[in-house]
Amino acid sequence: MSNHPDAWLGAAESALRAAPPTSLPSAAAELLATYVRASEVTVLLADYGLSVLQPITQLPLTRAQVAVRDGAPAGRAFSSEAPFVEVTDEPGIVIAHLPITVRGDRLGVLSVRLPEPAEGAPGVLELAAFATALGHEVIVAERDTDLYLQARRRRRLTLAAEMQWQLLPGRGFSRDEYTLGAHLEPAYAIGGDNFDWSTTDDSLTITVTDGQGGGIGAALLTNLAVNALRNARRAGVPLEDQARLADQAIYAEYGGERYAPSLLLRFDLATGTAQAVDAGSPQLFRLRDNIAEQVTFEAQMPLGMFEETEYHKQPFSIAPGDRLVIVSSGVHGSPSKDGSAFGERALRETIAATRTSSTHETARALVDGLMQYHGGYDLPQDAAVVCLDWRGSRQPPTR
């Protein structure tokens, strides 16, 4: 092996790619024992509610969970999306907690117990790169094994929730122009709310959909809506025609008895311009210069409510440094026991208060605030939040 501290990474990544899908944790442990003298390696994945990190084990065997928000080193690494080195009681031994993040999507944490790196030995940056490579392999392996999906579960998902989670693109994405973070609740019983996004060299498209109703019925409706929108988007048609074609597909199936309120957004990465089709109840908020405000559009019919509905796109202002937050009706319109809604004021205050937090933490904070509003953790409606930090075009915003 070369003496260069990162020379081992290429060989380690090749070995991970060659490992069987269910053997990634043991392969990682063997590689790190060889290259950095690791004595213990634990791969932890975030559960669907983002409240705990769970070690990967073959069910029904289980190991201790790590709470994300109790100050534990692994939880700190996950929340901050940065490595955290824990000093142990054993002289010369540390535990490196490394976030497993793939293109901005937080998967979990790799915890490695090893001798404190000496000069010239692989350090934290190299270990962080290894954790990223492991994350890529976990995502690929999920096509062929249930191991990693099972490791994310504190309890059994409802069938509707299973359908919804399989439909999502992930819970985060990042590139030079922007960073996305999103969250869904109730994580283990979500029914109809959904978010989706897709990027090209030139654009970003985001949709948030409120599937009407609950349970399997809502999940089936949302699956149809999301896949109809994807089908239209992949055909290369404009944003308003994506809404129109999805509207036709839903109406053809349900005849107007069921419909899917949706918000469609498209961002041009070169010019920094943005367009929206407001087809229902999801709402958009913008944080600019520490001021949070709702961005309103001309209200148009929810997808599938009427036959042959025509949709129109509307421009809106986006500038570098802006934060956009999209919330489903289960957030902005969620009623409390006394009948009042969570509402615009609470949303604006929470968005402004979390302006220095990451997109992931902001999305989670909005849902946490909603849970506190209800005095517990059982939400009466589905809740979806998408947070976008925009770093795109440097052109001045249009007013």
Q: What is the pLDDT of residues 181-228, one digit of tens each?
A: 999 999 999 999 999 999 999 999 999 999 888 899 999 999 999 999
Residue 165 Cα to chain centre, angstroms:
11
pLDDT of residue 99: 97
Residue 257 Cα to chain centre, angstroms:
31
pLDDT of residue 58: 67
Contact between 332 and 385 under an 8 Å Cβ cutoff? The reply is no
Beta bridge partners of 70: none
pLDDT > 60? residue 310: yes
Beta bridge partners of 60: none
Beta bridge partners of 67: 52
**The pTM is what?**
0.91
d(CA 229, CA 235): 10
pLDDT > 50? residue 2: no
Provide the 3-class DSSP secondary structure of residue 80: helix
d(CA 11, CA 29): 14
pLDDT of residue 1: 38
> By C-alpha distance, which of 243, 280, 235, 236 is closest to 262?
280
pLDDT > 60? residue 9: yes
Residue 337 pLDDT grade (very low, low, confident, very high; cuts 50, 70, 90)? low
Q: Which two tokens stand for residue 201?
A: 């060299």
pLDDT > 70? residue 392: yes
In degrees, rounded to 5, the angle at the alpha carbon of residue 330 between the alpha carbons of residues 179 and 392 is 20
Residue range 99-121: mean pLDDT, rounded: 89
d(CA 338, CA 374): 10
pLDDT > 80? residue 28: yes
Q: Rounded to 5 degrees, what are φ and ψ at 371?
A: -65, -45
Continuous segment of H or E residues that includes residue 126: helix 124-141
